[in-house]
Amino acid sequence: MILWINGTFGSGKTTCANILQKQLPNAFLYDPEQAGFFIRNQLPESLQQSDFQHHPEWRKFNYQMLLKIATSFDGVILVPMTLVDATYVDEIIGRLQRECVDVRHIILEANRRTLVKRLNKRFEWFNSWGKSQIDRCQSAFESDIHAEKIVTDSQSKQDVARAVAEHVGLTLSSK
């Protein structure tokens, strides 16, 4: 199973995935951003997109890697990554699902104040890239991107992870 944890920057995706990885037997944490960093670092500046997700190579690579892992690995693949373009969601998640890969898609959400507070704790001051994406992400999750939503504002990190696990039918260990 692939568990794609989507959400606005600061919603708790990576934190949730890290907790799940520790409390699920045979869980693997997959980071799609690494392909983006590679693409950005290997292209001349004039060919770089403002967001590496705009590179079709990023979407194709992540689709192919997730397909390889999902068909060869007997465990849960955790993917904490913000995806807000419906076409990109379809190119990766939709394509995997059409190929009969079990992909569960969850959106973690929080209000603007909570998101800004969390991003500030990560030293993203002023109008950081993550903060500048809040409205775009929230709008997409309200209209274009459809998945089960879990509100994280007033829940502990452990409670969020537990809610995600319960929603997709996973049992956490007591680690």
**What confidence tens digit (pLDDT) does each residue in 5-48 have?**
999 999 999 999 999 999 999 999 999 999 999 999 999 999 99
Residue 175: the pLDDT is 58
Residue 172: the pLDDT is 93
Q: What is the C-alpha separation between 111 and 128, in angstroms, rounded?
A: 17
Q: DSSP character for 33?
A: H
| Alpha helices (H) along the chain | 13-23, 33-42, 56-72, 86-89, 95-98, 112-121, 129-132, 134-143, 157-168
pLDDT by position in tens, the chain (length 175): 999 999 999 999 999 999 999 999 999 999 999 999 999 999 999 999 989 999 999 999 999 999 999 999 999 999 999 999 999 999 999 999 999 999 999 999 999 999 999 999 887 777 788 899 999 999 999 999 999 999 999 999 999 999 999 999 999 987 5
For the entire predicted model, the pTM comes to 0.94
